[in-house]
Amino acid sequence: MKPVIARTREELAAARARIEGTLAFVPTMGALHEGHLSLMREARRNADTVAVSIFVNPLQFGPGEDFDRYPRTFEADIEACAGEGVDLVFAPDRDVMYPDEPQVTIKSGPMGEVVEGAARPGHFDGMLTVVLKLLNLVRPDVAVFGEKDAQQLAMIRRMVADLNVPVRIIGGATVREPDGLALSSRNRYLSEPERRTALALSRALRAGAEAAADGPEAVLGAAGAVLDKAATADPPLALDYLVLVDPATFTPAAGGGPAVLAVAGRVGATHLIDNVHLQLGKEH
């Protein structure tokens, strides 16, 4: 059975009014893959009803990024949602989400200016703005976001806490291909040679995690060695960043305790990110 599809705010409000019990929400930009489907299953485990949004948000794409070519596969996405028993899909056009040029938006603050935010200025401002708009429109009890975008997840949790948004945020584990590549809608951009190079990202994370017992320098050294080799591959990996950070603040991690090893790079024209959670001072 296909989900109810709401295209306008009025259609969404009418569908939301009919929902009884608890509602879990999975915001997406479409081009759905197994990673998204795993978030829908997590949503189902945490609520009576599941809603998904499909909206490619222009505010979080910078100049020269891939907004125009970002994959849009709406019919296949609806079939995927139906296969997971999703009850409601909100699929607005740009004019529905932004009927006027936004004058008031969310500022991501210092956490939005480091790591991925330094590589993509303004990205997190646009992401947080659309997430808050969606949460206000859908009014879920629970919202589920992927841990692959670790900084995004941390910033959404901070926004919800700082602005007293009445929703519980849940992180869904990263889903990987058998060879370790993290699932991403952008993976479809990669040629076979580019995909082989892209595997260096997950290999670097594994190498860093295996060195967690020896502290931050060992983690970054082990991961960096893998990425240095990938920089000379054909085609090469152009590294954007490799950082070891506190999972809640994304400030540099030091000493023992929980940390996120995060990496991003470009293979050809494709920007890819990945991360792993680890415990510094302990075997991973």
**101 known ligand binder:** no
Tell whether residue 242 is among the known ligand binding residues: no
* Among the listed residues 154, 161, 150, 206, the one whose alpha carbon sits nearest the alpha carbon of residue 180: 206
Cβ distance 97 to 10 under 8 Å? no
183 is in an annotated binding site: yes
202 is in an annotated binding site: no
Of 150, 108, 126, which is closest to residue 243 (Cα–Cα)? 150
- Does the annotation list 175 as a binding residue? yes
| Residues identified as active-site | 36
Q: Is 111 annotated as a binding residue?
A: no
**Is 89 one of the annotated binding-site residues?**
no
Q: Is 162 annotated as a binding residue?
A: no
Q: Annotation-wise, does 163 bind a ligand? A: no
Tell whether residue 123 is among the known ligand binding residues. Answer: no
192 is in an annotated binding site: no
Residue of 207, 281, 267, 193 lying closest to 237 (CA atoms): 267
**Annotated binding-site positions:** 29-36, 60, 146-149, 152, 175, 183-186
**Annotated binding-site positions for beta-alanine:** 60
**Annotated binding-site positions for ATP:** 29-36, 146-149, 175, 183-186
**Annotated binding-site positions for (R)-pantoate:** 60, 152
